Amino acid sequence: MRRALVRALRTRNVDAVTALDMGMIEQADEDHLAAATAQRRVLYSFNLADFYRLHRAWLAAGKSHSGMVLAQQQRYSVGEQMRRLLKLIASKSAEDMQNQAEFLSYWG
């Protein structure tokens, strides 16, 4: 996630952290989802195909996660990501996001 987006989210009181902030660079996708879930965070990723597969696998195995937002890489400017993420945040609570995979493209 670009630093500009993180700064913009934080400016709007969104508690956003990056994989770098969490010391998760070079970790497996499942480890990212597990760490986000342990901290009760919704995961945001451009790795759409892999994380959607992981979402489905976790649900099939009866595992729960805190939710994820998936977007196509390089499709949206920082401003457009921000607009769509804020729209999603305003529409869905943390509880609503439990075990959900939301696509940023829907929130246009």
State residue 1's pLDDT score. Answer: 73
1 Cβ contact partners less than 8 Å away, ≥ 6 residues apart: 16, 18, 19, 44
Q: What are 54's two structure tokens?
A: 């992981």
Q: What are 14's two structure tokens?
A: 């969104």
Which pLDDT band, with edges at 50, 70 and 90, does 74 fall under?
Answer: confident
- pLDDT of 76 > 90? The answer is yes
If one counts the domains in the chain, the total is 1
- Cα–Cα distances (Å) from 17 to 9, 26, 36, in that order, read 10, 16, 10
| Stated length of the chain | 108
State residue 73's pLDDT score. Answer: 86
Enter the pTM of the model.
Answer: 0.93
State residue 42's pLDDT score. Answer: 97
Q: CB 106: neighbour CB atoms within 10 A?
A: 10
Which pLDDT band, with edges at 50, 70 and 90, does 82 fall under?
Answer: very high
Q: What are 97's two structure tokens?
A: 């996001």
Q: Do 43 and 66 form a contact (C-beta atoms < 8 A)?
A: yes
State residue 2's pLDDT score. Answer: 83
- pLDDT of 9 > 90? The answer is yes
Q: What is the extent of the structural domain holding 89?
A: 3-107
